[in-house]
Each structure stands twice: as C-alpha cells, then as structure tokens.
C-alpha cells in the first residue's frame, strides 16, 4: 500500500517511474542520488533494451549500426533502483495504484510518467499497410524502420523522394529536416543527386515552428534544391499507387516516401480516467511538471503535454526541476523549482556540418553562441556543431542517463552569448504543444 501522508519523516517513500527511456531513466537516477534511502524507486517498462533514439537518423545512411544504439535497460539504472518489465494497463489515481499486465499492482506515493510518445501509423489511412509491405514507404522513427530504410536507400538509383510529417507533435521535430539534408549529401556522395528530386512535405505553414529558425531552415532547403511543400496534412498513403493525399485533396506522387507517422501518448494514459488529454499525453503544469489533476503525479519528457518540443534535451533540462519538486512535495514544501521550456537541438545539415538552435517558452531561437560568448555558433552551419552532435552520444550514456549535471549548464536557458534574447511569448509558448 502507498503511504497516507507526504512528509519527510515517514518511512521510505515509494516512487514509481513508468517508462525507462531517456526521461524515465535520468529521472530515476536523479531521484535515487538525491533522495537516497529516504525513497524506494521503481522503474517499469515493457521492453528490456534502451535505444539511443537520436542515432536512428544516421542508420539509413550507414553512419550508425543498430548494435551501437542499444544497451540493456536495467544496466542504465543506478544501484538500488528496482526494474520491473511489464506493460502498464492503467493507473488508479484515487487508490494510488499502477496496474500491470504481467506483475502484481504497485502502490506509490509519487508517480512519474515517462512513457514517451508512440507511433500510431494505423491512424492514417493506408500507412500501416504501406510500411508493412516494406516497398517504397518507410520510416526511420523506429530501429527496425531505420534498418529497412537503409536497405532501400542502398538500392535506390533515382526518382522522387518525399520526406513527410503526417501531423504534429512528433519526437525530435527537426529530425525530418535533418533527414532531407543528409539525403542530399548521401545522394551527392553517390553521384546520383541530379537524378533525385527531394521534397519536404509538412503540415506546418513553414519549415519549422519557430519563425526565426524557420527562415534559416527554409533557406537551407532552397540552397540544397529541396522542395518545400507546406500546409500538407496527410490523410491517405497509397502504397500501391505511390501517392500521398492531403485532406484538402492535393496529391504527391513518389518513388520513395519517408514518412513520420502520427504520435500519441501511451495507451494506459487514455485508459486511466483523468490522467491525460485526448492524445494520451499527461496534462501538467508547464513549469513545475506536476499533474493538473493529482499532486502526486508528475510527467517528464515526451509523455508530458507541454508547450515545448518533444526532444531529448527537454527531458534532460526537466530532470533537475522534476527531482527538486518531488523532494519538496515529500517534505511538504511549496514547489518552487521552475522549468522554462529550455530546448536546444543540433540540426545536421550534411557535409560534416550542423546548425544549433536554443530557445525556451518565451524566447525564439537567436543568433550568437551557446552556452556563452565563446561557445558553439547558433543559427549557423558549422563543423563545430556537427562535432557537438557526435559528442552527444557518449554524453548521453555517461552523463545524461546517469542523471549528472553538465558543468556550467543548468536547466534554465542561458542568455549570455545571444545577440537578442528578448521574449517573444506569443509565437513560442502558444505553438509548442502541438507544433514543436
């Protein structure tokens, strides 16, 4: 049974973390380190392999192998953390119990939901069947999908390639753009770029959600001869005719379609009364990360319905705030730690370069340097940014997942080094939850 009170003097508090991905793992490790013996931390996940999802982008082009991106999930957790492998059926909020498919129910004092976003190709007419056929419709948003796409690209010798986002929100909103840029470099390296037409089809009215970054990214698309099709909301994917059709009737024909399916939250969220929104994402206060319906529930990472990008950096920056607010809740103190929506993304642009953007709820991406005046260039292609993206993988395994802080980088967005860090709240916080 869960405890009846929240205070620092009770027996060890039971903290249950649902999801052992980026957010869940780093949250559990931070909680274990911060609270020690005063809390029992349990992580629940249905899978036993942890996947480094940013690496999926590189698999289709032969830059990463699947074996380099996966590790045993339990091995990423600090000593003293219990790992339970099971699917979650539902959460009973009044009883403070988690019901599991293959394990007895678990009671909790504090629940952290970190089950991320899941692909739902069945929600788009024809997409699931086209992906299953494995012919000319693929995705790189899963490990199996990225490997299948690598085989298809290896045999591709020309034609129309469309990179398509069905709808938002999605994990890592810049990844489809990165795929376009890397595909451009890939086909040039193979000497067949003149035989390939590249198109980026998005439901947005621009290349990206943030206007400043969208302008820069649209310019890159144009310079690399990648067609931009906006306001394209995919309604049907026809794998036999090789067409994408939008809800407004427009049709795009392809020889190869790289599709990012719809994303929802975990099924158990919608099956647990009051826990989440209509898409299955957990409704939380955007600053404290505490549930809007239950003070004992928090969410982190892609599982949270926030006006912020569903990106790995967001989960990292949220971790510090989440743990401090859970500590305060258990101690009966006000929740004063605040998450400002801090997000940064390395955008691979091909040919060994990348662009870096950094923003939060109230501030657009700006030029300058990150994290200070002598750091990496912002909103500009640079070799240094590409190296930064490559360095992120070892940092992920050895710093972020274990729940360590990066020296000099707290959760709040830094303003030093930016040329203009004035808030632009209307264009940022209003759009992020569904469009970035």
pLDDT tens digits for 139-180? 999 999 999 999 999 999 999 999 999 999 999 999 999 999
The whole domain housing 248 covers: 125-263
Which of these three, 217, 239, 263, is where a domain ends?
Answer: 263
Instruction: Quote the tokens at residue 210.
Output: 């943030």
* Residue 369: other Cβ atoms inside 10 A: 20
Same domain for 19 and 109, yes or no, is yes
Q: What is the pLDDT of residue 58?
A: 97
User: What is the average pLDDT across 101-107?
Assistant: 97
CA-based nearest residue to 436, from 152, 126, 167: 167
In a domain, 337, yes or no: no
Same domain for 185 and 238, yes or no, is yes
Q: Residues 88, 18: contact at Cβ < 8 Å?
A: yes
Predicted confidence (pLDDT) at residue 4 exceeds the cutoff of 80: no
pLDDT tens digits for 249-306? 999 999 999 999 999 999 999 999 889 999 999 999 999 999 999 999 999 999 999 9
In a domain, 421, yes or no: yes
Same domain for 155 and 254, yes or no, is yes
Q: What is the pLDDT of residue 419?
A: 79
Q: What is the pLDDT of residue 243?
A: 98
Residue 98 phi, psi dihedral angles, 5° rounding? -105, 120
In a domain, 108, yes or no: yes
| CATH assignment of the domain containing 142 | 3.50.50.60
Predicted confidence (pLDDT) at residue 383 exceeds the cutoff of 90: yes
In a domain, 249, yes or no: yes
Same domain for 191 and 236, yes or no, is yes
Same domain for 411 and 313, yes or no, is no
Predicted confidence (pLDDT) at residue 3 exceeds the cutoff of 80: no
User: What is the average pLDDT across 91-114?
Assistant: 98
Same domain for 206 and 106, yes or no, is no
Which of these three, 234, 263, 292, is where a domain ends?
Answer: 263
Comparison of pLDDT for 24 and 415, the residue scoring more? 24
Q: What is the pLDDT of residue 435?
A: 37
In a domain, 269, yes or no: yes
User: What is the average pLDDT across 202-227?
Assistant: 93
Q: What is the pLDDT of residue 211?
A: 85
Same domain for 134 and 111, yes or no, is no
| Residue ranges in 134-174 assigned as alpha helix (H) | 143-155
Q: Residues 151, 161: contact at Cβ < 8 Å?
A: no
Q: Rounded to whole angstroms, how far apart are CA atoms 228 and 347? A: 17
Q: What is the pLDDT of residue 430?
A: 30
Q: What is the pLDDT of residue 98?
A: 98
The DSSP annotation for 5-29 comes to ---TTSSPEEEEEE--SHHHHHHHH
In a domain, 326, yes or no: yes
Instruction: Quote the tokens at residue 44.
Output: 């629940």
Query: How many percent of the chain have pLDDT more than 90?
Result: 87
Predicted confidence (pLDDT) at residue 121 exceeds the cutoff of 50: yes
Q: What is the pLDDT of residue 409?
A: 80
Q: Which helix (H) or strand (E) holds 197?
A: strand 196-201
Same domain for 62 and 104, yes or no, is yes
Same domain for 278 and 311, yes or no, is yes
The DSSP annotation for 51-106 comes to E-GGGGGGGGGTSS-GGGTEEESGGGSPTT-EEEE--EEEEETTTTEEEESSS--E
Q: What is the pLDDT of residue 11?
A: 67
pTM score: 0.93
Q: Residues 289, 321: contact at Cβ < 8 Å?
A: yes
Same domain for 248 and 135, yes or no, is yes
Predicted confidence (pLDDT) at residue 432 exceeds the cutoff of 50: no
Predicted confidence (pLDDT) at residue 433 exceeds the cutoff of 60: no
pLDDT tens digits for 385-431? 999 999 999 999 999 999 998 877 889 999 888 876 444 433 333 33
User: What is the average pLDDT across 49-67?
Assistant: 95
In a domain, 227, yes or no: yes
Same domain for 130 and 69, yes or no, is no
Which of these three, 212, 243, 263, is where a domain ends?
Answer: 263
In a domain, 97, yes or no: yes
Q: Residues 17, 81: contact at Cβ < 8 Å?
A: no
Per the structure, the count of domains in the chain is 3
Same domain for 229 and 106, yes or no, is no
How many DSSP H helices and E strands does the chain contain? Answer: 10, 26
């Amino acid at each position: 049974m869960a405890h009846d009170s929240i205070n620092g003097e009770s027996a060890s508090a039971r903290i249950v973390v649902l999801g052992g991905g980026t957010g869940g793992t780093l949250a559990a490790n931070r909680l274990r380190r911060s609270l020690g013996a005063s809390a029992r931390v349990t992580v629940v996940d249905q899978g036993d392999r942890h996947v480094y999802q940013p690496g999926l982008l590189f698999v289709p082009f032969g830059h990463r192998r699947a074996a380099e991106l996966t590790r045993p999930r339990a091995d990423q957790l600090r000593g003293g953390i219990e790992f339970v492998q099971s699917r979650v059926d539902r959460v009973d909020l009044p009883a403070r119990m988690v019901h599991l498919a293959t394990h007895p129910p678990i009671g909790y004092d504090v629940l952290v939901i970190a089950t991320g976003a899941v692909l739902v190709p069945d929600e788009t007419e024809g997409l699931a069947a086209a992906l299953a056929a494995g012919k000319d419709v693929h995705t790189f948003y899963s490990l199996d999908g990225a490997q299948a796409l690598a085989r298809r690209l290896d045999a591709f010798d020309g034609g129309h390639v469309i990179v398509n986002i069905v709808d938002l929100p999605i994990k890592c909103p810049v990844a489809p753009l990165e795929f376009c840029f890397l595909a451009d470099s890939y086909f040039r390296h193979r000497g067949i770029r003149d035989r390939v037409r590249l198109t980026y089809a998005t439901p947005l009215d621009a290349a990206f959600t943030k206007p400043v970054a969208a302008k820069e990214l649209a310019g890159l698309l144009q310079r690399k001869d990648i067609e931009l099709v906006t306001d394209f909301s995919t309604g049907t994917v026809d794998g036999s005719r090789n067409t994408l059709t939008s809800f407004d009737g427009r049709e795009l024909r392809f020889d190869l379609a790289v599709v990012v399916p719809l994303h929802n939250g975990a099924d158990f969220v919608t099956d647990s009364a009051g826990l989440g929104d209509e898409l299955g994402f957990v409704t939380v206060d955007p600053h404290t990360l505490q549930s809007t319906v239950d003070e004992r529930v928090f969410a982190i990472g892609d599982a949270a319905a926030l006006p912020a990008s569903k990106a790995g950096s967001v989960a990292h920056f949220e971790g510090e705030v989440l743990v401090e607010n859970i500590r305060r809740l258990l101690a009966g103190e006000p929740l004063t730690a605040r998450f400002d929506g801090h997000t940064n993304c390395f955008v691979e642009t091909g040919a060994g370069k990348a662009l870096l953007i950094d923003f939060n709820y109230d501030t657009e991406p700006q030029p300058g340097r990150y994290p200070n005046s002598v750091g990496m260039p912002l909103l500009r292609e640079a070799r240094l940014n590409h190296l930064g993206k490559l360095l992120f993988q070892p940092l992920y395994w050895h710093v972020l997942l274990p729940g360590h802080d990066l020296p000099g980088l707290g959760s709040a967005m830094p303003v030093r080094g930016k040329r203009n860090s004035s808030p632009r709240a209307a264009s940022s916080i209003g759009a992020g939850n569904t469009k970035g």
